[in-house]
Structure 1
Amino acid sequence: MTQMIHAPVRPPWRLRIPVHLAMAAALALKAIPGDPRRTRARLALARSVRRLPAADHAHVQEIYRAVIACQPPWWRGQIDCKERSVATVLATALTGRRCRLVLGARAMPAAFHAWVVTADGHPVGNDEAGGHDHPWTPVHTTP
């Protein structure tokens, strides 16, 4: 059976500028050569927002949906979970709040994934790539 994929709803105007800026920064990080350098840059950027007040789950969920809806059509490559998660952390920071970046893995089937977590522990974006069937184990969480 074919699954229908619907176009996401455009986010409100108050979120479009922070989300577009955050997505551009996340894609610029993807252009850094060498995977260890990219990972260190992503983690450093996610750690830099730790002094902001915590965001609630609804706010982070709304920003995550806006990041998915605002993926640029000019980008020819694939936009992975790492870029979406870093863009969510940055867009949340641009709205004056913070959430944490989580890098995780699972054994069966072996895979890696990135998502964000609110200060009270609610995950956002961890249900991608079969997160319901095979849960992800957090390996690194930014402070």
Structure 2
Amino acid sequence: MVALAAALFLLRCAPIRTNITTAGLVARLRLSPAAPERADHLFAAVRRAARAWPGRAACLEESLACYFAAALRGRSVVWVIGARTAPAGAHAWAETRGQVIGQDAGDRVWPYAPALRIRHTGRPE
């Protein structure tokens, strides 16, 4: 719940560059990569907490909250923001060990191209 509150606060009250900088600072912590099944459990917990939130908590909020929740547990995931062209759209998600978190294996066909990745190195790509 703390991770979701932090993500919601940042995304509502600060420009996106502040969110990216904050994620980069978190990525500089000494963290171990999260196992995919552990990361899926974290994402599910974020989704459950988001249901209790009276406002919007969609992909951007959930993925950043998952990123923070992993860090609070001493683990790292990759925070990704991407886009697609046909039809135009944007999406945010978290990954670990090359797997998208919070998706079923059958949904792995991904129409979004990453525009920004924040990894454990703390540097945006």
Gaps in structure 2 of 5+ consecutive residues: 120-125
Deviations 1:29-63 (A, max 9, x none): 12215xxx1x1122122222323111111111110
Please show how residues 1-143 of structure 1 align to structure 2 within 5 Å. 20-32=1-13, 37=15, 39-50=16-27, 51-71=30-50, 73=52, 75-118=53-96, 120-125=97-102, 135-143=111-119
Name the % identity: 35
Distance 2:51 2:86 in 1: 32
Deviations 1:9-33 (A, max 9, x none): xxxxxxxxxxx00011011112215
Larger relative contact order, structure 1 or 2 (CA cutoff 8 Å, min sep 6):
2
Gaps in structure 1 of 5+ consecutive residues: 1-19
TM-score for both structures, normalised by structure 2: 0.81
Larger Rg: 1
TM-score for both structures, normalised by structure 1: 0.71
- Native 8 Å contact 1:49 1:98 kept in 2: no
